[in-house]
C-alpha cells in the first residue's frame, strides 16, 4: 500500500500551498501530507516533514533534485508527489514520473481522489477550456501556483533519509536576480496594461502615470516586452508571462489574444479600451470603450484628478 502525499517546491511559498492541497487529500485515504525538505530550510505547511540528506557535488539542479526524490520514493512509496509547476519544478516532475514509471498530471488547480486515482482540474487551450484528467496512483502532478491557500501547520514529525551523492550533468555558473519593475504585479489590486495600441516607447510614461493615479501597477501584453523590448519581461501578462488576478484590470490598446487573456482572466473586473470594436478583448471585459487610448488616457487622468 502506497503511503502519503509528498509535496516539493523550491519555493517555500508554493510548497506551503502544496501542503494544504495534500492535507485535504490525505483526509480521504490513509496517509499523511508530507512536505519535502531538500535544503534544510525547515519547510512548513504539513503535519510531516521528510528531510532528504544528500550531497550534490555539482549543485542541486532540477535533475539532481528529481534523482534525490526518486531514491526516497523507492524506499517509502508515496501515493503521489505534488510538485510546484515552476520552470524548474516541471523538470523535477517530468524526470520523476519517467524514473518511477508513474502517471503524470500537469498544471492542476484543483485536486481530488476517486477510487485510487488522482483527479486534477486544469486549464487548457489558452484558458478556453477546463479539463478534468486522472491518473492511477502512484503518480506525479504539477500544481499551478496560486491555486491553494498556504498551509501553516508546523510539522509535528520529522523524518530524515540519507540519499547519498547525487550527480548532475548541468552546472550552474552564476545566477542573478531578474530586473523587477517597481511594483509587484501579483500583489497589485489595480493593473493598467499596455498593448500594441501604444505607438511609441516614449508614450509608456503616460500609461504609467495613469496606473499611479489609480494606485496600480503597469503591465503589458507580450509584443511590448518580448518583441519590442519596451518593458522588462516581468511586466508581461499572459500564458507565458505573469498570471494575475487584480480587483481591476484596465487593458489599453490590447487586442485580447487568448494567450494574453489566459494571464488575466481571473481579474475581478476588466475594462478595455481599443480602437477596434471587434477586438476580442471586449469579449473578456465587463466594460468596454471603443476609442483611442491617446484620447482616453488623458481623459481618465483628468476625470480622476477632478474627483480628488
Scan residues 263-282 and list those touching another protein (CB under 8 A).
265, 268-271, 280, 282
Burial 188-197 (b: 16+ CB within 10 A, else e): bebbbbbbbb
- Around Cβ 304, how many Cβ atoms within 10 Å? 12
What the block records as the C-alpha cell of 78 is 508515496
Closer to another protein by CB, 38 or 270: give it: 270
Using DSSP, state whether 271 is helix, strand or coil: strand
Using DSSP, state whether 267 is helix, strand or coil: coil
- The site map against another protein for 90-109 (x = CB under 8 A) is xx-xxx-xxx-xxxxxxx--
Alpha carbon 256 to its chain's center: 21
Rounded to whole angstroms, how far apart are CA atoms 27 and 143?
A: 19
Task: Tell me how far, at minimum, the Cβ of 52 lies from another protein, in Å.
Answer: 19
Rounded to whole angstroms, how far apart are CA atoms 76 and 257?
A: 46
Closer to another protein by CB, 77 or 283: give it: 283
Quick check: 233 binds another protein (CB under 8 A)?
A: yes
Residues in region 1-60 near another protein by CB under 8 A: none
Residue from 135, 147, 193, 243 in contact with another protein (CB under 8 A):
135
Residue from 48, 49, 71, 122 in contact with another protein (CB under 8 A):
122
Quick check: 295 binds another protein (CB under 8 A)?
A: yes
Quick check: 200 binds another protein (CB under 8 A)?
A: no
Rounded to whole angstroms, how far apart are CA atoms 58 and 64?
A: 9
Task: Tell me how far, at minimum, the Cβ of 27 lies from another protein, in Å.
Answer: 21
Closer to another protein by CB, 39 or 91: give it: 91
Count of positions on this chain that bind another protein (CB under 8 A): 93
Amino acid at each position: 500500500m502506497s503511503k502519503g502525499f509528498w509535496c516539493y517546491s523550491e519555493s517555500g511559498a508554493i510548497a506551503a500551498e502544496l501542503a494544504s492541497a495534500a492535507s485535504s487529500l490525505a483526509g480521504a485515504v490513509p496517509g499523511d501530507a508530507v512536505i519535502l525538505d531538500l535544503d534544510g530550510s525547515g519547510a512548513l505547511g504539513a503535519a510531516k516533514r521528510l528531510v532528504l540528506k544528500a550531497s550534490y557535488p555539482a549543485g542541486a539542479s532540477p535533475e539532481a533534485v528529481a534523482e534525490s526524490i526518486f531514491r526516497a520514493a523507492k524506499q517509502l512509496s508515496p501515493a503521489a508527489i505534488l510538485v510546484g509547476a515552476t520552470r524548474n519544478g516541471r523538470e523535477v516532475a517530468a524526470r520523476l514520473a519517467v524514473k518511477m514509471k508513474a502517471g503524470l498530471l500537469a498544471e492542476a488547480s484543483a485536486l481530488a481522489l476517486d477510487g485510487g486515482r488522482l483527479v486534477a482540474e486544469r486549464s487548457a487551450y489558452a484558458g478556453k477550456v477546463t479539463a478534468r484528467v486522472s491518473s492511477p496512483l502512484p503518480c506525479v502532478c504539477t500544481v499551478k501556483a496560486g491555486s491553494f491557500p498556504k498551509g501553516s501547520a508546523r510539522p509535528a514529525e520529522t523524518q530524515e533519509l540519507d540519499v547519498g551523492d547525487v550527480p548532475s550533468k548541468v552546472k550552474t555558473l552564476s545566477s542573478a536576480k531578474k530586473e523587477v519593475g517597481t511594483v509587484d504585479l501579483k500583489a497589485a489590486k489595480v493593473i493598467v496594461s499596455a498593448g500594441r495600441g501604444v505607438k511609441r516607447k516614449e508614450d509608456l510614461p503616460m500609461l504609467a502615470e495613469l496606473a499611479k493615479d489609480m494606485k496600480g501597477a503597469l503591465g503589458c501584453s507580450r509584443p511590448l516586452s518580448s518583441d519590442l523590448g519596451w518593458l522588462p519581461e516581468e511586466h508581461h501578462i499572459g500564458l507565458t508571462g505573469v498570471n494575475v488576478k487584480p480587483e481591476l484590470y484596465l487593458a489599453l490598446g490590447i487586442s485580447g489574444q487568448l494567450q494574453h487573456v489566459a494571464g488575466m482572466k481571473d481579474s475581478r473586473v476588466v475594462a478595455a479600451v481599443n480602437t477596434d470594436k471587434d477586438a476580442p478583448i471586449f469579449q473578456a471585459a465587463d466594460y468596454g470603450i471603443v476609442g483611442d487610448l491617446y484620447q482616453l488616457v488623458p481623459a481618465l487622468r483628468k476625470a480622476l484628478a477632478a474627483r480628488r
